[in-house]
Amino acid sequence: MTGYVLAIDQGTTSSRAIVYGPDAQPIAIDQKEISQSFPKSGWVEHDATEIWDSVVETSRTALARAGIEARDVAAIGITNQRETCLIWERSTGKPIHPAIVWQDRRTFGACEVLRADGFGPLIQEKTGLLLDPYFSATKIAWILDNVDGARRAAENGQLLCGTIDTYLTWMLTGGAVHATDATNASRTSLFDIRQNRWDDELLGAFRVPRALLPEVKDCADDFGQTVAAHFGAQIPIRALAGDQQAALLGQACLKPGMLKSTYGTGCFVVLNTGDQIVRSSNRLLSTIGYRLNGKTTYALEGSIFMAGAAVQWLRDSLKLIKAADETGRLAHLADEQEDVYLVPAFTGLGAPHWNSQARGAIFGLTRGTGIAELSRATLESVCYQTRDLLEAMASDYPMDVRGATLRVDGGLSGSDWAMQALADCLGSVIERSQSQEATAYGVAALAGAQAGVWPDLQTFAANWKAKRSFTPNLNTDERARRYRKWRAAVASTLSYAATA
């Protein structure tokens, strides 16, 4: 058996496939953007068939670019956008409705009804999550209630549901395996993270039939084999992990107290808390970091909805830039006297605010404000939101995470300007991963180790090195002043959202 591993990374805006060689280094990659649709205000959907086609296409192209065939691949690992979910026909694999994306807010009303009925504390205690449209359970219930005949078909066992990892596994194995891993299950609001199982009380609250749900396995496990027709030979699927947990592993944050932040469409800061479930008093999420050999490692997570997506807004909606990587150069040219703050609450504010009704706002505009200043404010908004999360974590976790080294990855981490701004904002050292694709790297490490062709995770962690570090060079008073202005901007945004 060779040591090649194929990592499938299915994200919010694109699907990518990366082939890693026996030395665990990437040798070929292919990526394809996927479309998002916005049928109504606050609604975000994906065409699951388009996702499936993009995964097959990018995987085939990556294998061809690597100059290898399917029989040379020891294992596949799949990582995915987590809370995005769909329902499909058991007999055909055909989705009955577009996938509802994690950013979607359509089930706000359903969450409010559950909150009024007193389910909030129960959900938080069992799942570690807040009652919010972000998570999968109300999305699943919405599809069952809004597609003719769906609820009856689900109760009769004719339908299956899952997050994107589950759907891809089902399709890749030709319907032989309906399974997920503990990290993805922990993001549905249906999974008791203390007992590591689907919970009947939660299923009843959200009105989700158990017959829909996949089997829950460890992150590294036997998830079957691909149908030979897809790639020319069967390939074992040996790892699944939600994108942020895969990045935690890819950043080698295997010890309690270690932190990583991934900057993709959103921003997700994850803190390893070991075998302890840390309950947040600041509306952060207690979640499963990973589960291996039946042992669960927990994490504390803060989620920001808009990071790279805010840059996409500059490009696609305002058409101020042609490419995302222009923002760093423009930000460098911004007038230092322009004190502009963007609160990118385009689909609400995530942690620690969790306000679904908030919408984006810009403060400090003057006649001199231009593209450079807006670019700077957009990149800085990601930095300030990251600090919001770390401030919350610092009061929830017994270790002092203020000033702790933060390991970063994701597309936006490639911007030197943004990462220096992040170091200045936090007053912390920022370590950029050798691979911006730490999410794919993490699930590849799981799959390679499970297949027995790569070293175990502890050896992997011992060999982790930063590509570049950024140290703060902003004085303490100016750092504090800027953050006060940011907090004032957020407070004004929340105040506006509360106005009837």
Q: Which residues are annotated as a binding site for ADP?
A: 12, 16, 265, 308, 411
Widest Cα–Cα separation across the chain: 65
Question: Which stretches of 71-207 are assigned E, i.e. beta strand?
Answer: 73-80, 85-89, 99-100, 159-163, 179-181, 191-192, 197-198
d(CA 28, CA 44): 31
Amino acid code (one letter) for 364:
G
Ramachandran area for residue 74 (φ above 0: left; ψ -120 to 50: alpha; else beta): alpha
Binding site, annotated residues for sn-glycerol 3-phosphate:
12, 82-83, 134, 243
Q: How far apart are CA 39 and CA 303, in angstroms?
A: 24
Q: Which residues are annotated as a binding site for ATP?
A: 12-14, 265, 308, 312, 411
**In contact, 193 and 127? CB cutoff 8 Å:** yes
Long-range pairs for 122-126: beta carbons < 8 A, 24 or more residues apart: 122/201, 122/202, 122/205, 123/189, 123/202, 123/205, 126/192, 126/193, 126/194, 126/199, 126/201, 126/202
471-478: list long-range contacts, CB under 8 Å, 24+ apart: 471/423, 471/429, 472/423, 472/424, 472/426, 472/427, 472/428, 472/429, 473/420, 473/423, 473/424, 474/424, 474/425, 474/427, 476/427
Tell me the Cα Rg of the chain: 22
Q: Is 368 helix (H, G, I), strand (E, B) or coil?
A: coil
215 CB neighbour count, 10 Å cutoff:
14
Region of 252 on the Ramachandran plot (φ > 0 left; ψ -120 to 50 alpha; else beta): left
Please report the beta strands in 356-459, taking only residues with DSSP state E, as ranges in sequence order: 361-363, 406-409, 430-433
The sign one gets for the Cα dihedral 61, 67, 69, 73 is negative
**Residue stretches of the annotated binding site for glycerol:** 82-83, 134, 243-244
Binding residues, as ranges, are: 12-14, 16, 82-83, 134, 243-244, 265, 308, 312, 411
Bridge pairing between strands 237-242 and 73-80: parallel
Nearest by Cα to 83 from 108, 102, 60, 55: 102
